[in-house]
Amino acid sequence: MSDPLFEPLQLGELNLPNRIVMAPLTRSRAAQPGDVPQAMNVEYYRQRAGAGLIIAEATQISPQGKGYAFTPGIHSEAQVEGWRQVTDAVHDAGGRIHLQLWHVGRISHPDLQPNGERPVAPSAIKPKAQTFVSAESGMVDIPEPRALETDEIPGIVEQYRVAAENAKRAGFDGVEIHCANGYLLDQFLKSDSNQRTDAYGGSLENRMRLPLEVVEAVVGVWGKSRVGIRVSPTGSFNDVHDADPVETYGELAKRLNDLGIAYIEVVEDSFQGNHANGRPQSVIDVIRGNFSGVYIGNGTYTADEARERITAGQTGLASFGRPFIANPDLPERFRQGAELNEWDGSTFYGGDEHGYTDYPSLADQQR
């Protein structure tokens, strides 16, 4: 009997050899100054090229989009070249890789912003959240952001478009738009963080406007078959909530279906401080029912649960985060039913190769 995890799948123009996706994972290891991907990042992604698809870590679309120290960008020539070395290594190892496009919005700090400016947001609402400013400061509270003026919003869309162009020049196979986990597009979409009274706030139609304008701009660069989006319908991470996620995400899924993008990755369960009390089945069902592209489920999956949900038609692909941190050859371990390495949470963010590229593969352990 064939293993559902290793059935191929057509994702847009990409033929994936398995259903195991490496989820986007912030690791805060870009070279300084300049937030540039470096040699250890190249090795890290090369080691994980056995994934059906790698979705590279959240990557700043602009200096304004930065919210955490040591995260990579895709807005300078040095960053484009750094990522080009990553994509070349992944492709040489037989893999496929998308870049996740990220603007943090209010989840930032003046110390990380150009000219020490206040972070921007849909509304001037201070979140109960923290961010990582420097190795010396550690996590610090986020100040009240500045509400974007209506005439600034086309410039935000342009930041995404340029970043999408840069990702193409860097050799990625496609891009994922980050509309989850309390960052800028999620802040516009969710009802509590968006208190605007212009065309970008109030009604659901207005709250969806910026995310959909960004999708259209990115599709204009890549074509619809190489674009996906990540959402967290019931997520509360970074202090966001939505009054009616079934309505919000059901309608968003319809609109994304009309635009014809390749996939929606859904953070179904828990993400750090985001506890959804189990998988929110009503939201999952309405997204799946309204979107005919590929559905990617994310959130504390085991290999067996992923197999069951793929077999039942409840997800097309399953994305794994922390298991991929500790197991560079995660698909092969799943194939063999091998024991998994345990991850070391103290090395998730920042640092050197330790806890990054030194986790052993099965082949290493069998020597």
- Examine residue 340 and state whether it is found in any structural domain, yes or no: yes
- The per-type count for the chain, helices as H runs and strands as E runs, is 11, 14
By C-alpha distance, which of 69, 286, 24, 316 is closest to 178? 24
Domain CATH code at residue 303:
3.20.20.70
Residue 365 falls within a domain, yes or no? no
Is 292 among the domain residues? yes
Q: How many domains does the chain have?
A: 1
Could you tell me if residue 367 is inside a domain? Answer: no
Instruction: Give the count of beta carbons closer than 10 Å to the beta carbon of residue 310.
Output: 20
**349 among known catalytic residues:** no
Paired with 53 in beta bridges are 21
The 8-class DSSP code of residue 233 comes to T
Q: Is residue 18 part of a domain?
A: yes
What residues make up the domain containing 9? 4-359
**Residue 87 domain flag:** yes
pLDDT by 10-residue block (mean), the chain, 367 residues: 95 97 98 98 98 98 98 98 99 98 98 97 97 91 98 98 99 98 97 98 98 98 98 92 95 98 90 52 93 95 95 97 98 97 96 98 86
Tokens 């990553």 found at: 86
Q: Tokens 């197991």 — which residue?
A: 327
Catalytic residue among 45, 183, 200, 356: 183
Phi-psi domain of 142 (left: phi exceeds 0; alpha: psi -120 through 50; beta: other): beta
DSSP label of 149: P
Instruction: Find how far residue 6's CA is from the centre of its chain.
Output: 23
Look at residue 269 in the predicted model and tell me its pLDDT.
72
pLDDT at 274: 42
Q: Is residue 366 part of a domain?
A: no
User: Which pTM does this prediction carry?
Assistant: 0.97
Helices (DSSP H) in 265-345: which residue ranges?
Answer: 281-290, 303-311, 322-326, 330-336
Interatomic CA distance for residues 173 and 220, integer angstroms: 15
Report pLDDT for 278. 57
What pLDDT, on the 0 to 100 scale, is given for residue 135? 86
Residue 236 lies inside a defined structural domain of this protein: yes
